[in-house]
Amino acid sequence: MGHSRSMRRARYATLTGIASLALAAAGLAGVAGPAAAQDIPGVASSTGNEFNPWSPQQGHPYRHGAVQGLQQHENYKKWLAAKNQAAATGQQTLSYGGGVDGIGVQSGHSKVYLVFYGTQWGTQTTDANGNAKFSNDSAGAAGATQQMFKGIGTNGETWSADLTQWCDGPNVAAGAVSCPSNANFIPYQSGGVLSGVWYDNSAASPAQASGHQLGVEAVNAAAHFGNTTAASNRDAYYIILSPHGTNPDDYQNPTTGYCAWHDWNGDTTLTGGAASSPYGDIAFSNQPYNIDQGTNCGVGFVNSPGTLDGYTMTLGHEWQEMMSDQNPAGGWTNHVSGSSYNGQENSDECAWIRPGSTGGAANISFGSYGTFAEQASWSNDTNSCAISHAILNHGNTVTVTNPGSQSGTVGTAASLQISASDSATGQTLTYSATGLPAGLSINSSTGLISGTPTASGTSSVTVTATDTTSATGSTSFTWTESTSGGGGNAITNGGFETGNTTGWTTTGTATAPAGAAHTGSYGLQLGSTSPTADSTAAQTFTAPTGSSKLSFWSKNTCPDTLTYDWATATLKDNTTNTTTTVLAKTCSAAGAWTNTTATVTPGHSYTLTLVNHDDNYAGDATYTSYDDVTVS
């Protein structure tokens, strides 16, 4: 969508000598406000329209929130000092830009889509965390990126909580420096923000992609992920990750280089022009493989050797700026006339502050997802660069209905729907539970507790519901499971909650990633997103007294036809030496979970074999998830 107004992209300045990030802090990154020369970062108002030659926005006003390289950043500050334009204390306050197309911030739960752009990423496989992994990514940037965005809003992290002060909506006036109580606030991003990963290996990434080409790739990604309406893209963000050895938008330029920037498709100042979108406004960022720039883009900035420090810092920098200024510069930017921060966004003002200093970069723990180097962002409400901030709930109340005491029998499937309400409208609730009987889990999106209990006893269960502003409510009740007739689950690790295939004999590609779970945290995956041959998992067991049924769940992802690829399962009764196909050959592009059951005779020995067959043909890899294997 082309707009006549001149919009500017936020970029992450490079680090060549701490100068770049400081440059971003001094006004290079994130342009906001009118497009007049005196309002563009790098222009010193007291020197007329003379433009700072070290600004990454010189000739590129779309580079919003551009993170300068350290060396460029230092040179930028020296130029300002020579012109008597050093940053003025107290001039970092951000104000609201009035919105572009009615959009100021992402006031819902952010949906982050990662686009690995071009065949130069190499061969795709799957890592131990179930993430996409690439042969030409020796630094492991792809896996770290996926883990980081999965981890945002988990482990009680408060690095992202400063975003909860920013807002948009019809009740927020242009020029406002704080939000009224009836504004649309950015919610705390509970439970992670990663929504999809796409390896676009349809062609090589350009050696030096233009801003327009990056915008087109973002629009293509929206189509790929099925976000084909303006509503579905309102809270979406597409990160275009260029591969090692490429130079998108000339980010390696020794004078006007940078480490990353963000923008939206309708920015008419993009090199090559705006990128047309039939799907509404598309927020995206340009994430070069800036590890290639070494210390200039933050390698070793927080840790030693810190290979990924700058990479995760720039990812976090641009995401925070997109959240608070989705269509630059309609959100929150610096409009203070004469300030060297003029035009910068929240993360620009705090870029490249050394660890240990006030507002300095630091390692942020996202619990089981890992620990990543991040930088602080500016907060109006504390008048400081905040690496940590209180989560602002804005008065919401969440109420969880108590379901009363529960009881059941070991080996018999259970199901309980938890209900909750929120005093605020438009909120999405995320559910969690502690103390559930072994074998049961709660669906974080729907609140449904389900599974097959595997142990007897009485448990004290607490269910908590959390809305998108981080307001919570909880309730507690008892759950008693008893045995009946000696039955119970004879399968070892049937829920794969060990995160591995312990108890199973496997061939081919067999893993237990989080993405394969039907219930709980993990499930079995046979095959992968890359072509393979046959993959199997088998286990021999004896049906216990009182049992009569084998049950398991499967989800087949098969872009080919049944002639070539399929999922299947067999059950051999070793006592009678008979074999039954319990899951007929299946090839399903829909990838929906289905339940399979089979009759067992107590005392008989059985071997269950789960199979994924892929014809090893490039372009249509088939894989199958299995979970919740029980005998009852």
Q: 1 in a domain, yes or no?
A: no
Estimate to the nearest angstrom the gap between the alpha carbon of 612 and the chain centroid: 29
The answer on 433 and 376 residing in a single domain is: no
pLDDT at 369: 95
Please indicate, yes or no, if residue 491 is contained in any of the structural domains.
no
Query: Rounded to an integer, what distance in angstroms lies between the CA atom of residue 96 and that of residue 276?
Result: 26
Q: What tens digit of pLDDT does each residue of 153-183 get?
A: 988 899 999 999 999 999 999 999 999 888 8
**448-457, 464-473, 480-489, 559-568, range with greatest mean pLDDT:** 559-568
**Dist CA 555 CA 588 (whole Å):** 8
Per-residue pLDDT of 332-374, as tens digits, reads: 999 998 888 999 999 999 999 999 999 999 999 999 999 999 9
For 510, the domain range is 505-631
Contact 556, 583 (CB under 8 A): no
Is there a single domain that holds both residue 466 and residue 563? no
In sequence order, the β-bridge partners of residue 168 are 184
Report the Cα 178 to chain-centroid distance in Å.
28
Same domain, 215 and 177: yes
The count of domains in the chain is 3
Domain assignment of residue 5, yes or no: no
**441 and 322 in a common domain:** no
pLDDT at 547 over 90: no
Identify whether residues 255 and 134 lie together within a single domain: yes
Average pLDDT estimate for 255-280: 96
291 and 429 fall within a common domain:
no
Collapsing DSSP to helix, strand or coil, 571 comes out as strand
Q: Which of 355, 386, 417 is the last residue of a domain?
A: 386
- Domain-embedded: residue 58: yes
Coil, helix or strand at residue 386: strand
pLDDT digits (tens, 9 = 90+) for 307-338: 999 999 999 999 999 999 999 999 999 999 88
Residue 555 contacts residue 586 (beta carbons within 8 Å)? no
Q: Tokens standing for 194?
A: 């990663």
